[in-house]
Structure 1
Amino acid sequence: MSIETAKPLADVVEGVKALFAEKFGAAPQCVTAAPGRVNLIGEHTDYNDGFVLPMAIDRQTVVAASKRDDDRPVVRLYSATMKGAAELTIEPDGAELPGWAKYVRGVIDAYREAGVDVPAFDAVIDSTVPLGGGLSSSAALEVSLALVIETLNGKSLPGPQRALLCQQAEHQGAGVPCGIMDQFSSALCHADHVMLLDCRSQQPKMVPFTDPTVSVLITNSNVKHELTGGEYAERRQQCEAAAAGLGVKALRDVTPEQLAANEAKLDPLPFKRARHITGENLRTERAAEALAASDWETAGELMYASHAAMRDDFEITVPEIDKLVEIAREIGPEEGVIGSRMTGGGFGGCTVTLVRTDKAEEVARTIAERYKAATGIEATCFTTRPAEGGRVLES
């Protein structure tokens, strides 16, 4: 097994432009790109007004687009990723759309509600962001489409406003009540930096991650447990119940010590959920300090502690994900592993592991071999450095 390498962005761009010309008979007027993201630490803290520490990955969603030159108020789309087409009216008409096009519907509606004129346009979409692995392929699509609308309209919005409109698009278009992390990451991250995001003030702080001897290894368990759909909402409700029981606006306002002193005020389940959140906020701030100081030992310890809390207190890991983290820990620092944890909403998906760059290939091979021996499942691995957020490539 070898580490998967990203298709170069230039190749994706050329492919999208060629496909646009084939589908619509002319060269596109603009090309935009926005990345997926991985969260190094700070899980389920965003809707608790807490802290998260994501970075953009070098997998992108690329969109080539042009204004339509007729009077039809429609958007025509072709997704190379999904190998399908869709047509949307600018004004919502309630038409049933394929799942991926619902995100586009959401972006169009969010911009129109914000008073931005959305022109009729044609677009071709392609993506190298893995789907369904918790790496925010949806946010990458939303941000790249938002940049298309702004470019064709000639109106550039501030990055935070763009991110919030894309969050609104996910809420309304796809019905997912996500926090702000995914869209802020895709819209605002910088190359060679992670982003410490205060989800209450919505203020991002860029933290240097410039040491070339350390890389981020993302391992997809290729497991996504079937959910009833309510687990995310359940966790959110449990956190809100804990905050109400403690008399605070959000769990951001409680320290681990205060929580322990007030355990009697909460039922056991909300208490466990709150114990993860209060500890995770502290871990996330400390991890940002550790990364800025290249204190890799501390960063690794915090990642393992975060995973344990997600497993035991928040109960969002699954056996396959736990096995991946266990294997990484067994490999250990002498063989190149600094720290590892589940990343994303939970119940499957990916782990994120800090590794020594010169050992990354060997670490990935060992993790994949031991994981397959334990589970019978093939994992897929790739490394990334912190990448640049959404941008207009051609206009």
Structure 2
Amino acid sequence: MIKEHIASSFEARFGQPHLMVFSPGRLNIIGEHTDYNEGFVFPAAIDKGIYAAFGKCDSELCKVIALDMNESYEFTLDNITPLENGDWRNYVLGVTKGILDAGKKITPFNLVFGGDIPEGAGLSSSAALENAVVFGLNELFDLGLTKEEMIFISQKAEHSFVGVKCGIMDQFASMFGQKNTALLLDCRSISAKSFDIDLQEYQILLINTNVKHSLSESAYNKRRAVCEKVAAILGIQALRDADIPLLESIAEQIPDEEYQMARYVIEENKRTQKAVIAVQANDIAELGQLMYRSHHGLQHQYKVSCEELDFLVDRAKLNPDIAGSRMMGGGFGGCTINMIKKDAVTNYAEKTAAAYLEKFERNCSVYEVSLSQGTHLI
């Protein structure tokens, strides 16, 4: 068990941990790239994530061990700055600095973490780690931070220490997720309504392309800049406030590529709201069609898909046992999310893995996941 492995590793290095935290990754049923446009998203926490053990220490150094990567890092609490090519270290550093910037007092600590959430799969391993760190330190030092305050510290770390201008969805879903439930998150008010999901004879299957194309972060930031530019031309706060007729009124003022990106965001926001209605009606067929249309927009309008993702979604469309499929996450790699009949999972996974290997000469990875509780003490 991962939990026991983390605990025993901490104990071997530092003694008995003061506490342990589980912080889940997240999937997003629909609503991609709408969060930083102050729109709606429909995410859920999953039963894969980061396990972290914490303890106070007497030295002047914070000591962190990333068990899965067999890497460690030590730092002081004075003058914390981002590292060049810092990877996971910058998430830990950014959250620690955010806590200090919030006026909270902490002393050096020890941290050991690891998990079963695949990095780069579009399941927000970064948000899971950020939330694990802020939640664990909040408990360890009795800081009194609310969950809302914690997720903004996590988001700020991503912005200022990692350089990805992400919205709030990943951190929110990881922190506030509930078992067998998805959250309709309004990314303007940062308020959410929970909806029980009855997938009936279906279940969620994630297929990881195991690729992450190099332009993912720069392309993400470029698209965010395009959305903000179009909103400014329209004289609105964010694309959440636009509709298609309003966008068409400036179509001749902007390049077609930017028009299509903005149109995708407006349409995806509407699809997300329709998906909630479908869930309430237990209409899996309609939810699936909305997912397919979401992928089409991500592929052809927002242009954040890739050949590997499109291959997996195209295969899903041909299979009557799959109600819906789409790419998930920032794009250019990561996972597809599929709603598939439970009795078809094994056969479909095997055949798809074989076809993917033949096509791309690399393996994909398949994960069966369930909707889980958000960041919590264990």
Q: TM-score range by the shorter chain?
A: over 0.9
Distance 1:95 1:59 in 2: 27
Which residue pairs with 2:36 in the alignment? 47
Using the size of structure 2 for normalisation, the TM-score is 0.95
The reply to whether residue 208 of structure 1 matches residue 199 of structure 2 is no
Which residue pairs with 1:80 in the alignment? 67
- Asked if structure 2 preserves the Cα contact closer than 8 Å seen for 1:327 and 1:371, the reply is no
Deviations 1:319-343 (A, max 9, x none): 11101000011112xxx20100010
Which residue pairs with 1:61 in the alignment? 50
Distance 1:77 1:376 in 2: 36
Distance 1:228 1:277 in 2: 18
Distance 2:143 2:230 in 1: 43
Alpha-carbon distance, 1:217 to partner: 0.7
Q: What code does the residue aligned with 2:114 have?
A: D
Alpha-carbon distance, 1:300 to partner: 0.6
SS in 2 for 1:381: strand
Q: What code does the residue aligned with 2:126 have?
A: S
Alpha-carbon distance, 1:356 to partner: 1.6
Alpha-carbon distance, 1:389 to partner: 0.5
Q: What code does the residue aligned with 2:276 have?
A: A
Instruction: Give structure 1 regions of 4+ aligned residues with deviation exceeding 3 angstroms.
Output: 93-98
- Asked if structure 1 preserves the Cα contact closer than 8 Å seen for 2:39 and 2:187, the reply is yes
Which residue pairs with 2:362 in the alignment? 377
For this pair of structures, how many residues does the alignment match?
377
Distance 1:269 1:260 in 2: 13
The reply to whether residue 146 of structure 1 matches residue 146 of structure 2 is no
SS in 2 for 1:125: strand
Which residue pairs with 1:345 in the alignment? 330
Deviations 1:179-199 (A, max 9, x none): 101100111111100111111
- Using the TM superposition, name which of 147-156 and 314-323 deviates more: 147-156
Which residue pairs with 2:9 in the alignment? 19
- Asked if structure 1 preserves the Cα contact closer than 8 Å seen for 2:164 and 2:217, the reply is no
Q: What code does the residue aligned with 2:12 have?
A: E
Deviations 1:69-124 (A, max 9, x none): x2x33211111111011111112254847421111101111111112212211111
Using the size of structure 1 for normalisation, the TM-score is 0.91
- Asked if structure 2 preserves the Cα contact closer than 8 Å seen for 1:36 and 1:129, the reply is yes
Alpha-carbon distance, 1:23 to partner: 1.1
Instruction: Give the % identical residues.
Output: 35
Q: Give unmatched runs, 5+ long, in structure 1.
A: 1-10
- Asked if structure 2 preserves the Cα contact closer than 8 Å seen for 1:212 and 1:357, the reply is no
The reply to whether residue 250 of structure 1 matches residue 238 of structure 2 is yes
Which residue pairs with 1:362 in the alignment? 347
Q: What code does the residue aligned with 1:290 have?
A: A
Distance 1:66 1:94 in 2: 23
Alignment of 1:1-395 (within 5 A): 11-24=1-14, 26-68=15-57, 70=58, 72-94=59-81, 96=83, 98-211=86-199, 213-227=201-215, 229-260=217-248, 262-332=250-320, 336-393=321-378
Which residue pairs with 1:3 in the alignment? none
SS in 2 for 1:76: strand
Q: What code does the residue aligned with 1:84 have?
A: E
Q: What code does the residue aligned with 2:76 have?
A: T
Distance 2:110 2:200 in 1: 40
Alpha-carbon distance, 1:225 to partner: 1.5
Which residue pairs with 1:5 in the alignment? none
Alpha-carbon distance, 1:264 to partner: 3.3
Alpha-carbon distance, 1:265 to partner: 4.1
Which residue pairs with 1:7 in the alignment? none
SS in 2 for 1:31: strand
Q: What code does the residue aligned with 2:38 have?
A: D
Alpha-carbon distance, 1:65 to partner: 1.1
- Using the TM superposition, name which of 348-357 and 320-329 deviates more: 348-357
Which residue pairs with 1:8 in the alignment? none
Distance 2:146 2:64 in 1: 26
The change in CA–CA distance for 1:304 and 1:211 in structure 2 (over 3 A counts) is: closer
Q: Give unmatched runs, 5+ long, in structure 2.
A: none
Distance 2:118 2:249 in 1: 43
The change in CA–CA distance for 1:373 and 1:228 in structure 2 (over 3 A counts) is: closer
Deviations 1:256-302 (A, max 9, x none): 34334553343312211111000000001111221232110110110
